[in-house]
Amino acid sequence: MLDVALLGTGGMMPLPNRFLTSLLCRINGSMLLTDCGEGTQITLKRLGWGFKNIDNIAITHFHADHISGLPGLLLAIGNAGREDVLNMYGPPGLSRVVNSLRVIVPELPFEIRFTEWSEDNDTSRFLTPDTELKCLPLKHWMPCFAYSLTLHRRGRFDIERAKRDNIPMAVWSALQKQDEAEYEGIRYTSDMVLGPMRKGLTVGYCTDTRPVPDLPDFVREADLFICEGLYGDASKQEKAASHMHMTFGEAAKIAKAANVNELWLTHFSPALPDPYNYIQEASNIFPNTVIGKDRMTKTLVFPD
């Protein structure tokens, strides 16, 4: 099970009832925050999922509307009692940018460990043994990355095979959760008792970019694809291109090409007070399109 919360849906600047774009994903209590614009800690507080269990933070790029809320959020995480290491991922220069912002938050009760992505190739990290974070370089004014979070699902436990091969019952439970276990000096591996991997759950997140050729494959068949739509009106196509952003229609074309299950639009221009007026610009291309709103949530569950 994977819980998703779109904390804010605004681009460029916050509005009285629209915070800047940020995404929170929760798996087994551990949380991944993607982007942290001004006011993120406020909308997160309203959501009510807490701060302490934010174990990982991924930053798409270093424009202020995606990172300026970080000092306050880090302070809130510290005040919530966190002492464990917090992992942070982002473009080259991440540690320099974050440590510069930390001038106003010099003392934290936890360590931050940085992973700076390379733009030369796709990169991934396992946040837990079953949870994988991938990134893809995008096309913006500065280095910017799309993210894909996948909760992998192990194969079914084959009890008949385990009995036939005399796998001790003492390691059955462990082998359903981890790759290997030892009993009475003998090492057993999960492939001895599990069938092939089953379909997992995937959430894709993309903002601040022109369409790039590799993006449909990057989010292919995602259960949920969250994508920027700074401009709703198709007549803004030229403006979107000149500002290195996308329209609703362009986001919908990516969703269709990738055969995702559902598309949430986000990162709306301040000049777009009611994105719902332009929903058909996307839904005519990709019917299962939803206009994002602050603190909209969804729980993704494994198929049977």
Residues 94 and 189 in one domain: no
- Beta bridge partner(s), residue 177: none
Residues 80 and 180 in one domain: no
Asked if pLDDT for residue 290 goes beyond 70, the answer is yes
Q: Are strands 86-90 and 54-58 parallel, antiparallel or unpaired?
A: parallel
Report the distance separating Cα 128 and Cα 131, nearest Å: 5
Domain boundary among 196, 217, 249: 196
Instruction: Say how many domains are in the chain.
Output: 2
Q: The domain spanning residue 101 has which CATH number?
A: 3.60.15.10
Asked if pLDDT for residue 228 goes beyond 90, the answer is yes
Contact criterion met (CB below 8 Å) for 16 and 294 = no
Domain boundary among 196, 215, 247: 196
Asked if pLDDT for residue 122 goes beyond 60, the answer is no
Contact criterion met (CB below 8 Å) for 238 and 246 = no
What integer pLDDT is reported at residue 183 of this predicted model?
79
Q: H or E stretch including 55?
A: strand 54-58
pLDDT band for position 182 (cuts 50, 70, 90): confident
Residues 122 and 222 in one domain: yes
Residues 221 and 287 in one domain: yes
pTM score > 0.75 for this model?
yes
Asked if pLDDT for residue 215 goes beyond 70, the answer is yes
Asked if pLDDT for residue 235 goes beyond 80, the answer is no
Residues 12 and 91 in one domain: yes
The residue among 144, 40, 48, 154 whose CA lies nearest residue 91 is 144
Catalytic sites, residue numbers: 65
Task: List the domain range (segments joined by +) for residue 177.
Answer: 155-196
Residues 100 and 148 in one domain: yes
Domain boundary among 178, 196, 214: 196
Q: Which DSSP category does 208 fall into? A: S
Report the distance separating Cα 283 and Cα 289, nearest Å: 6
